[in-house]
Structure formats: C-alpha cells, structure tokens
Chains A and B, each alone.
Chain A
Amino acid sequence: MQTLIDSRMTMPDFIAALFDKLDLAGVAAMTKLPSGEKAAYTLLTDKDDIEDCVPYFPAMPANAARAVSKFTRQAPPSKQVAVFLRPCELRALTELVKIKQAAVDNLLIIGFDCAGVFPFSKIRLSDELKLKEYREAVAKGKNCEGIRPVCSACTRFVPEGADIAISFIGRNLDEPLVLSFPSEKGKEAAKTLGLDSSSKVEASPAVDSLAEERGGAEKKLTEKIEEALSGTDGLISVFDKCISCHACSHVCPICYCKNCYFESQTFEYFPESYFTRMREKGALRLPVDRVLFHLGRLSHMGLSCVACGMCEDACPVNIPVSQIFKTAGAKAQALFGYIPGKNRDEPLPLLTFSERELEEFED
C-alpha cells in the first residue's frame, strides 16, 4: 500500500506546480475544446492554458494510451511531459511499451482512480446534472448511473504503474488532491514539488466498497456474456449485426498494427473462391471472415486486453464488443496467469514459455 499524502493543492494548482517546478515541456490531459461542448485529450505546452484541463471528465474519446503512443512512438520527448491517464489507459500504455509502440522516457505518468466513464456520445461539458451525479457517486464509491457497462464492472480502477497516483474514490473532486508516489520518478517529483509524508492521509473505505460492487457486476457481466456466447448459434447471434467496419480494432489501444491483418491482402480472395464457397453452402454472406475477424483479433490481442471499453463505444451497431473481449480476454489471460498492464517488465505470454506447462492441451 502506498503512502497517501494530502498535496494541499487542487487539480489546477497541482498542474501549475508541475509546470513551474518540474520545468515540464507539456502536459497531456483531457482538455476542454474551444467549442465548449466536448473535451479531448490534448497536449498543452503553455501554463496559461491549463485552466482548460479537465482530467477527470468522464469520457474517453480515445484511449489516451493510443494518444501517448502516437506521441512517443517515433521518439519520446527530450524534455519531461506529464501525462494524465486513467487506470485502463495506463495499463494499455504498459502493454504498448512492451511492444515498442510507446516509450515512457521523459514521461511523468499521473494516474488517478477511475469511477468509470460515460459512452462518449452521451456526455457533454454542459451536462451539469450528470456530472453532479458522477461526483456524488465518486465521493460515495458507487457506480454512477449511465457509465459504460465495462466500466461499471471494472475492478482495476486504481492506477498501476503511475509515477504519481491520485486517490480519488471516496473524495471530493474539488478538494486538494490526495497523492501517492509509487515510482522513483514519482518520489523525485514529490521532492521537487515539496511534498513530504508529513501530511499522510488514510485510504478511503469507499475504495473497497466500490471494489465489491464492481466485483459483483463483473461476475454478472461474465455470466451474461457466457450465456450469450454459448454454441455456434450464440456466436453467430452475438456478432450477427457486425458490419465489418473494424472500428473496434481501430480505436483499440492494443491493436497497434499499421495495416490490420484482417484488412490485408491475405483476406482478399479471388472471385472463384467466393463462388465455390457459395456453392458449398447455398449462400455466402459478404463480407466473409466477419466472425473470424473478432475471434482472430481476440487471439492477437486478447491477452493484452485491458477492457477499456473503447471498442464498444465505437461500434456503430451496438455489439457489446468490450464486454465480450473482457470476458474472453480474462479467460485467456488466466490461462497464462497474465495480467495485462501490471508490470512493464513482464513479457507477453506468447513470447515466453516454461517447459512444463499446459500439458492438458497436448496429447
């Protein structure tokens, strides 16, 4: 358990202090868009702009790990940049670092407890009532009505792997931040910021109660999905509406391929192939490989799925993609005892092995 410290700074003060004292090149966080309705993950370099920062704003227009990947993949910044990340974004970033799609050099990672987000088309900066409810739910450690199903079933809502972690559940968002500094980099930053352990704070019991509520929800969700997916009929029904737009993979923080395997020439067939298959079955649904895409994608990235929910948000035909991937991913992850996003140094399961394992799968 990390030591929690009352920073005596509200969020704006905190960001200002980061700028001032840490000589940051920039901060990346959810920021109000000039048009005023929406917020987006934005890189800011000017301290004057930070009043527009709204790191907690409960929407995820893009998984920020994808943004950080874009930002650092070619080369990380030469000066420190603070990035605010939700726990699932942080987990995704950790996974991306493993596959060299992101670098954390010169990033100061600020994580915070996540009470979940709303589907992004359902929330605006002006939705005061909704946001008020959300704050209340945060303070109480309860799921807020209307947040995405995967969020309400997310049990890993406390950041893992941050340099600075903001304790958030069970607290008031406008009050000074309660921080912890899990990494060396974080501790260094704390020193520079002049934060010491003199202002220790207790962990909020709301964290546990939320964990419990979420645990229950997760179980239910798993059961629901397992039932829906039983047998080939289930598999077909669940994905029946899929229009093969692949939006799920394009917003997925883990799907990092430049040219998706399932959009590559591999899956372009010569005409005769379509007609032969049509003759075998009497009819052939086009585009083909629709279900294969989902299963195949799962096999490619399911072990790293952090259940961030982006896929489901982006699905134009309301397939519960994220819930499916969370459920199936969890099973696959359990097979190797792998927890995605937990540890940057842990190798990906398919890149390692032990000599005696999984013997039940062979004969």
Chain B
Amino acid sequence: MAATNKANMDEVGMNKGIWVEGRAKKKVLEFLNGLLNSKKLEAVLMPATNRTKDSYSWFLMGKDGLLESADPFPPVMTTQGARAVSYLTKKGRAWKKTAVLLRPCELRATIELAKIRQVELENLVLISFDCPGAYPLEKYFNGDQKKLDEAFDACLSKQAELEGARAVCSICNRFTGRGADIEIGLIGGEAKGFWLIPGSREGEDLLEGVTGSASHKLEAREKAISELRAQREEKRKQTLDSFQETVKGPENLMRVLSSCINCHNCSRVCPICFCRECYFDSKALSSEADAMLQRAQRKNGLRLPPDLLLFHLGRMTHMSISCVSCGACEDACPADVPVSMLFSLAGRNTQAVFEYEPGRSLEEAVPYTVFKFEELKDFEAPYIKEYSKEQ
C-alpha cells in the first residue's frame, strides 16, 4: 500500500538497493514474471506495444504471465498511467494484488489522484523508474520508430539527454521513481545493470529473494542523480522563465493560444482533470444568443465557441496546483499549443505559493482543502486607513 507513506520510507531507508546486472528491460520483466509465478503478485498493469507495434498501450496482465511485448520503459506516453490506474481502481481497490509500472510523473499523478479518491492504492504495488523522458507522440508516429527506439534505449542507462524528447521532459527535475514501492534505479548504473530499490515494506517484501549484489553502492547513483537534478533544475528555471517572457501579457498569451480550437482535449487526457463533466463544458457557461451578442459588443467581437481563455486559466485555477508536468496535454493537442509548458509554468508558480509538490507525499493535503490561520497576507490588499480622510 501507499508507497509514499513517510514513516514507511524512513524505516525502509534508501540504502538497500539490490544491484542487478544485465539489461534492465529484460531483467525487470523477468522479475515481474517471477513475482507472478510465485503468486506474490496476481497481476501487472504496464505498457506493452500494441498490435501494429507502432505504439504503446496499457495492459493488465496476469495468469498467463506478461505479454512478450510488455515494455516497462516505453518511449512514448500514450495514456497517462495514472489514468490507467484510475480506470482500474476508481470504483474500489484492485481486486488482486497488482503491480503498476509508472513513469515518475505518472506516479506523482497517481498519488494526487489517490488524494482525491480517483485511485485506491490498497492492493497496488507501485513501481517506477528513472525516466529519460518521452518522445512527442506526433514525432514518434511520423518518425523512424526503430531509430527512435534505439536512441531511447541508449538513454535509459546513460542519463544522457533524450534527444527530441518532449519539452516538459527535457526540463523535468523529478525524473526518478522515488516514492514508489520499488524504484528501478537506472541512473548511475552505466548500462551494466541497475538497482531495485525498495521504497516501502511492501517493496522490500517483494524484493526478498531477488538475487543480486548489494556491493554496488548507491552512492554513485545518488551522485549522478543530484548532478542531473541540479542541471535540470537550472534548465527548468531558465526555460520556464524565458517561456514566461514569451507568453506574458494579453498580446503574447493570446498569440500562443490563437491556434487553440477549444476542443478541451488537453483536459480530457490530463490525469489530474478527473471531472466526469468538465466545468467548462457544462451548462454553467451557456447563455442565450443575446447575451453573447452583448459580450461581442463589449469586446469588439466574440470568438465562437466562446470562453477559450477562460477555459485555460480557469482550468489552471482548478488543477495547476496538482499539475505534475507530465505533458499528456500537449501530446493530445491537435493544434500544437504548448499546453504542457503553459501548465508547467502555471503549476510551478501556484505550487510555490503553498510549497506544495504534487505527488510528493500522500499525507500532504491538496492545498485547497486545508489552510493556515496565518498565511498569504501578501495577497490581501493592505488597507490604508487614511485613504479618504474627508469622509
């Protein structure tokens, strides 16, 4: 259960990684099959290539073992994994003990969804890995997939930047699977092998009996991670700051949004946007023709369907605090709007207000549900008592 249970984490500690030599993809599948055979697990939810082998999809696999095409490290993110977990457990806890393989951002989104009861973590074992990023769907579908796959595999262990990765991936600073029940440590292993690191009691139990050496110290990995993180953090800051410059002000922002077709597909694939009916598609915003004519009069015209900017900004007020910068929105945008950058930027800033990191810990309440008595004074307009003396 809940991998991000802090107490759990502290107890287990982080220096217990098991070093496994060999190709990570193969070994991880062996490991999972082993758990299925030994009935420690009854099912695994993870990506596998689809029939036409040109894309990936989520599969729940069990009794007969994993599909041959199962791939713990897919080069693209078709459906955000947290959504897949949500499909499975929205109506109740997983029926059987199930391992789920998630990218770090999918893991974070899963934790966020657990907070809002769209995911039930009980009976799930969350496994995550050091993610090199993912290709944009469009690039992957239109490019030379073999080459791209090779480049991706090469990146898995070398902690090199994935060339052509999605914009959000290239500035991702939370690229490890920390917080999962089992973390697959690729960084620092230099392709010779990888670590399986327990993040909870449960993870520890599952790793029992996995043969590997404990000799390979995790320090190398920690060092590599912190270097990469420092780099990424710097890059993230710079990229978002300079991106902010390009979208600041109504003129710039509307230019960026001008290709938006108001299809709301970004929210539909968003793992955090869990509403069954989006507020911005609801009756709340519908009005009579005359009212729209009036709006048109006020602002020299009204784009139809209306409320395009309201949708984006409004959605940000609803979920940017929980935005995990997974990039699913941008992949699904048919109009090439840099949605994920917009949301990453918005999320960075709104999350900072509450020092909230989505997906960091299950125990951290969603900021809208809690408050402190003394906080956020800066957002209040200070009263100048002498303002209108004459009265």
Please tell me the number of chain B residues within 8 Å of chain A, measured between CB atoms: 75
Interface residues of A (CB under 8 A from B): 25-26, 28, 31, 33-38, 40-46, 49, 52, 61-62, 64, 66-68, 70-79, 81, 106, 120-121, 236-237, 240-241, 243-247, 250-251, 258-259, 263-265, 268-272, 274-275, 278-279, 282-288, 313-318
Residues of B within 8 A of A265 (CB): 276
Tell me which residues across on chain B come within 8 A of A26, comparing CB atoms: 293, 296
Could you tell me if B263 and A314 are in contact, using CB atoms closer than 8 angstroms? yes
Smallest CB-CB separation from A31: which chain B residue? B301
Q: Quick check: A315 and B91 within 8 Å, CB to CB?
A: no
Partner of B90, one of A79, A120, A268: A268
Q: Is B303 an interface residue (CB 8 A)?
A: yes
Of the candidates B62, B89, B264, B289, which one forms a contact with A71 in the assembled complex, judged by CB atoms under 8 Å apart?
B289
Residues of A within 8 A of B52 (CB): 237, 240-241
Cβ distance A236 to chain B, nearest Cβ, rounded Å? 6
Chain B residues near A (Cβ < 8 Å): 42-43, 45, 48, 50-52, 54-55, 57-64, 67, 78-79, 83-84, 87-96, 137-138, 141-142, 251, 254-255, 258-259, 261-265, 268-269, 276-277, 281-283, 286-290, 292-293, 296-297, 300-306, 331-336
Q: Which residue of B lies closest to A119 (CB)?
A: B334
Tell me, rounded to whole Å, the shortest Cβ–Cβ distance linking A72 to chain B.
Answer: 5
Per the bound structure, the CA–CA distance linking A38 and B259 in Å amounts to 6
Listed from nearest, the 3 A-B pairs whose CB atoms lie closest are: A67-B304, A77-B289, A35-B255
Q: Which of A33, A79, A274, A314 has the most CB of B within 10 A?
A: A274
Q: List, sorted by A's number, 6 A–B pairs whose CB atoms are closer than 8 Å.
A: A73-B286, A243-B57, A285-B59, A287-B58, A316-B265, A318-B138
CB distance from B360 to the nearest CB of A (A): 26
User: In the complex the two chains form, what is the Cα distance from A280 to B348 in whole Å?
Assistant: 45
Closest to B57 in A: A285
Task: Please report the C-alpha to C-alpha distance between residue A243 and residue B79 in the assembled complex, in whole angstroms.
Answer: 6
Instruction: Give complex CA distance A46, B300 in Å.
Output: 7
By beta carbon, the residue of chain B nearest A236 is: B51
B88 — which chain A residues lie within 8 A by C-beta?
A: 271, 274, 286
**Chain A min CB distance to B283 (Å):** 7
A2 to B89, CA, bound (A): 60
Out of B60, B96, B286, B304, name the residue touching A286 (CB < 8 Å).
B60
List the A side residues contacting B87 at CB < 8 Å: 268, 274, 286-288
Q: Evaluate contact between B289 and A76: CB separation under 8 angstroms.
A: yes
> Bound complex: CA of A279 vs CA of B262, how far in Å?
40
CB-defined contacts of A46 to chain B, threshold 8 Å: 297, 300-301
- A246→B352 CA distance, assembly (Å): 33
In the complex, the chain B residue whose C-beta lies closest to that of A284 is B60
Contacts of B301 in A (CB 8 A): 31, 42-46, 49, 52
Given the known interface contacts A240-B50, A271-B95, the answer about A247 and B293 at a Cβ–Cβ threshold of 8 Å is no
Given contacts A247-B334, A283-B60, contact A275 B302 (CB under 8 A): no
Chain A residue contacts of B258, Cβ below 8 A: 33, 35, 37-38, 40
Residues in chain A near residue B259, CB distance under 8 A:
37-38, 61, 120-121
